Amino acid sequence: MDTSQSSALPNSTSGQVVAQVLQKNLICCEPQTSVQQAALLMQQHNISCILIKKAEHILGIWTESDCKKLDLSDITLLRQPVSQIMSCPVLSVPDHCSTSEAAALMKQKAVRRLLVTDSTHTAIGIVTQTDLIHQQPLEHYLVLRDISSILVELPLLLQAELTVAQAAILMQQTQRDAAIVKFDNADYGIVTERDLVHFIAT
C-alpha cells in the first residue's frame, strides 16, 4: 500500500520507535464512499479516522476533528464523496522513526496521527498522539512537569437549545474537541468530536 507523503526522518538509534506502538488495523474506504458511509465505518470500528484508498494508494484521511469543519445543517453534504472533504496528502513516517521524533513532527505539523510505513513505503499502521502519550513514563507528568505546563483554557460552554450544526461551528472556531452542554434544569452534559461522527453516521 503506497503512501502519499513521507517525512524524511533519520533512523532512530535509541529509545522506542513507532513500530512498537502503532495500531496495525487500518480502516480504509474508497474515494466515492459517501461522507455518511465513512462516518458509519468510523462508528462501527470505534476509530477516530478513516483512510481513503484507491487500489493500493492512500489518497487522504478523514478524521473526527474534520467533522467540525462541515456544514452539518446541509443534509446533502452527507451524500457527497468523502474524497471531496478529506485531508491530503497523508503525512507519514518510517517504522524506525523514534516516538520522540514522531511527537515533534505532530506538534510541528499540528496533526494528531501519522501513517507508518515500512522499508518498501507500504503502510503498515497508524500512530496517534494518544499512543505516544501512553508511552511516556509516569515521572514525565508527576515529577518533570510543573502545573503551568498542563493548564488549559476554560471549557467551551454551550446552551442545550443550540443545533448540532451550531455546536460544531463553535467547536471549530474555538478549536475545542469537546464542549460542556448546559440544560435549563441545571443539568450538564458533554458533546465531543466523536459525537459529531455518530450524528453524521445516523
Q: Dihedral sign for Cα 163, 65, 141, 131, please.
A: positive
Interatomic CA distance for residues 38 and 23, integer angstroms? 19
Residues 52 and 119 reside in one and the same domain: yes
Give the rounded distance of the alpha carbon of 60 from its chain centre: 13
Residue 23: strand pairing partners: 126
For residue 19, the domain's CATH number is: 3.10.580.10
Residue that finishes a domain, picked among 140, 159, 176: 140
169 and 135 share a domain?
Answer: no
Give the three-class secondary structure for 78: helix
Q: What is the pLDDT of residue 128?
A: 92
Burial 88-98 (b: 16+ CB within 10 A, else e): eebbbbbbbbb
Domain count, the chain: 2
One domain for residues 172 and 134? no
Tens of pLDDT along 13-70? 347 899 999 999 999 999 999 999 999 999 999 999 999 999 989 999 999 999 999 9
Q: What is the per-residue pLDDT across 119-176, written as a single tens digit (0 to 9) for each?
A: 999 999 999 998 888 877 665 555 556 666 666 678 899 999 999 999 999 999 999 9
Beta-carbon contacts of 130 under 8 Å, excluding residues fewer than 6 positions away, are: none
Rounded to two decimals, the pTM is: 0.82
The last residue of one of the domains, among 118, 140, 162, is 140
Q: Beta strand 157-159 with 178-182: parallel, antiparallel or unpaired?
A: parallel
Using CA atoms, how far apart are residues 77 and 85, in angstroms rounded to an integer?
10
CA distances from 121 to 98, 100, 109, 126, 143 (A): 17, 21, 21, 13, 39
Q: Which amino acid is at 177?
A: D
In which domain, by residue range, is 179 found?
150-201
